[in-house]
Amino acid sequence: MSGSGAAPVRYLLDRSWRRPGDGTVVVAGSPLRLFRLSTGGAQVVAMVEAGEAPDTAAIRQLLDRFVDAGALHPVHGHGPFTAADVTVVIPSYGPLSTELLAQLRALLPPDVPTIVVDDATPSANFSSPRAPHSSKPEPEPEADATLENAVHVMAPPPPTVIRHDVNRGPAAARNTGLAAVATPLVLFLDTDVSLPSSTADGQPGAGWLQTLLAHFADDRVALVAPRVAGAPGPSWLAGYERRHSPLDLGDQPARVAAGTRVSYVPAAALLCRTEAIRSLGGFDPVMRLGEDVDLVWRLSAAGHRCRYEPAVVAHHRPRAGLGEWLRQRFGYGRSAAALARRHPGALSPVRLSGWSALVWALVVARRPAVAAGVAAGTVVALRRKLADLPASESLRLVGLGHLAAGRQLAEAVTRVWWPLALVAAAVSRRARLPVLAAFVAPSLLDAVAGRSTQPLADAPLLLAEQMAYGAGVWTGVVQEREAGPLLPELTTWPKRGGG
């Protein structure tokens, strides 16, 4: 995993990690996998759990299987790179606020190169409307400095400024900046991002960058992303974004790959290996939205690792108004079909076993006793298939699996399938209660579990967001003639992870 001379690696257990019974079976990862261990393997895993595993080639080879499954997360003391190996690339359209550049000056060494790519802003004072289909946010009213004035907050030396003659979108702007990078690493930052002044554990100054850089001790890591939380603000919309931003992927570290718990990371803040990105042609310039998701999935398909590091928290400013915010969510949905065409199967709204699908179909058909019987049968079937698991663990896995499948189905109904659900509710009385439950149950469960602090206040915006996203999905499906974002995927469980 690590290059020569790298510091020893310790590992964080994924929150899914369980080693029940005699300790020779591990159930963990995303998607959930089962690992059967030899006696020696179980001893190594026990040392990892205690935080003291030896760092040898054989042990790294064993633990790499867990890392690739998302069951373990490496923590490197340091990596081969420093801030001097990084170039910052900022795609820009409209007024460039001095805030981000001032932060770079304060938090990075002065000799770190910075490239600002102006994506054909219409005039020097940036007063013209946004270019069609641009995914960049509208400028804030106070950010009215010219580009020339803004870049000089970093002087000396000021950033390099490259201008496009025509608006080509954020992906093309990042590629233009990438072409001018001469360092091994490139840090892409959007103009609506505020950098962290410290890491989550309080490490001050540029410690946040060192935390990201340490991941590159693993030669296979090509991309690392921090957590991107909603920026604090007094408005109702800002408060909602703090609690529900789609860019905020949680407080748990993860590998990033399609079909996993963290299946994408936003391009708002990305630290990447320059050559790895170049080898794939950079971001897809055809895509105005979803280009960051596409890049991550292409890197993963090429054998690279992408990591999510929530110990570093950047902040993203929400859209200025409700209309613009809904257009953003609509755009996110519309990008799904284009992504599905490039990555077949990766955009399925639900992934669940055929047995879970049958259980919930029976529940919707108001046959709860039969559904309970089928669910009990899956416990027995799993128990026979995995005789080395304790019966209590088989019961736990089946129960959690069916509940997770039910939540996935409810979220698919409210987020993607809602046009069909509303039609079904309008023409069939039997469909009304299941549709209502799909809209209400997830929020209620989150409130009961303490995961949502303001479910009633957030409900109107949550409903508007889901409908805007779903409308975008259906629009993209029609435009692209690609039904992938609408089709469920049936899977089997458990997948085998080896030992």
Confidence bin at 495 (pLDDT 50/70/90)? low
pLDDT tens digits for range 219-228: 999 999 999 9
Helix (H), strand (E), coil (C) string for the chain: CECCCCCCEEEEECCCCECCCCCCEEEECCCCEEEECCHHHHHHHHHHHCCCCCCCHHHHHHHHHHHHCCCEEEEECCCCCCHHHEEEEEEECCCCCHHHHHHHHHHCCCCCCEEEEECCCCCCCCCCCCCCCCCCCCCCCCCCCCHHHHHHHHCCCCCEEEECCCCCCHHHHHHHHHHCCCCCEEEEECCCEECCCECCCCCECCHHHHHHHHHHHECCEEEEEEEEEECCCCCHHHHHHHHHCCCCCCCCCEECCCCCCCCCCCCCEEEEEHHHHHHCCCCCCCCCCCHHHHHHHHHHHCCCEEEEEEEEEEEECCCCCHHHHHHHHHHHHHHHHHHHHHCCCCCCCCEEEHHHHHHHHHHHCCCHHHHHHHHHHHHHHHHHHCCCCCHHHHHHHHHHHHHHHHHHHHHHHHHCCHHHHHHHHHHCHHHHHHHHHHHHHHHHHHHHHCCCCCHHHHHHHHHHHHHHHHHHHHHHHHHHCCCHHHCCEEECCCEEEEC
Confidence bin at 335 (pLDDT 50/70/90)? very high
pLDDT tens digits for range 440-486: 888 887 777 666 677 777 888 999 999 999 999 999 999 999 999 99
Tell me what the pLDDT averaged over the chain comes to: 86
Mean pLDDT throughout 119-145?
49
Confidence bin at 129 (pLDDT 50/70/90)? very low
pLDDT tens digits for range 407-421: 999 999 999 999 999
Q: Which domains does the chain have, with CATH numbers?
A: 9-76 (no CATH), 83-320 (3.90.550.10), 351-498 (no CATH)
pTM for the predicted model, two decimal places: 0.88
pLDDT tens digits for range 64-91: 999 999 999 999 988 899 999 999 999 9
pLDDT: is 206 or 212 the higher one? 212
pLDDT tens digits for range 230-242: 988 888 888 899 9
Predicted confidence at residue 149, as pLDDT, reads 59
pLDDT tens digits for range 293-321: 999 999 999 999 999 999 999 999 888 88
pLDDT tens digits for range 141-171: 344 445 655 665 555 567 899 999 999 999 9
pLDDT tens digits for range 372-398: 999 999 988 888 877 778 888 888 889
